[in-house]
Amino acid sequence: SSLRSKKGDGEFTGPFAPYGYKKDEKDKNKLVVDPAAAEVVKRIFAEFIGGNNITGIVHGLNDDGIPCPSVYKQMQGHNYCNNRKLEKTYYWTYSTVKKILLNDSEVYIGNMVQHRTEKLSYNIDKLVQVPRDEWIRKTNTHEAIISIEDYNMAHRLIKARWKPMDCSKNTNKFAGMVFCGDCGRFLVRSKRK
């Protein structure tokens, strides 16, 4: 209940700050902008709004030698590691950039959104997704990295570019069985013109 109360007050309760931010040295429940990482977040949004697709953004970040969020956190001295399957992932990936644009983007306009997942039970470590209407959201809790206009434009573009896949028609007999030997992620079928 103490943790839920902190979340309701807009205090950050996670172990690691979202990419682009760091915990305030005086108050670990407050986020402050990390200038180096914030510039990368601005770049991602600017390139996406400018017409670049996520794959192009990923290639650009990797070509420029910009460390991915997990490596960046380790370089800052944090004891951070990815999921065990992704121990070898030290580069930017499609899902990392998409997460910044889609899932984590509200934090970049100064809003704190927490309680997206919860444990099944105190003695079971499995996390389950919390329905969107039950998320704990507090506005203007910290300094924004991107403007509300850029946030809205990016989300309009996301809705226009991505259509939900109909799994009943697009199934493949290898779905969920074929994975990358390097990073451990499942491979997906894609069609290109």
Residue 88 amino acid letter: K
User: Which pairing describes strands 136-138 and 31-33: parallel, antiparallel, or unpaired?
Assistant: unpaired
User: Which pairing describes strands 112-114 and 136-138: parallel, antiparallel, or unpaired?
Assistant: antiparallel
What average pLDDT does the segment 41-55 reach?
Answer: 92
What is the reported pLDDT for 83? 55
- Does residue 50 contact residue 31 with C-beta atoms inside 8 Å? no
What average pLDDT does the segment 177-190 reach?
Answer: 73
Asked if pLDDT for residue 87 goes beyond 90, the answer is no
Q: How confident is the model at residue 150 (pLDDT cuts 50, 70, 90)?
A: very high
What is the reported pLDDT for 3? 67
| Helix-, strand-, coil-residue percentages of the chain, each rounded to 5 | 40, 15, 50
90, 113, 144 from 35: Cα distances, Å: 21, 21, 12
Among the ranges given (63-67, 102-106, 149-153), the one the predictor scored with the smallest mean pLDDT: 102-106
- Does residue 24 contact residue 31 with C-beta atoms inside 8 Å? yes
Among the ranges given (39-48, 79-88, 163-172), the one the predictor scored with the smallest mean pLDDT: 79-88
Alpha-carbon gap, residue 79 to 91, rounded angstroms: 18
Residue 53 amino acid letter: N
What's the chain's average pLDDT? 80
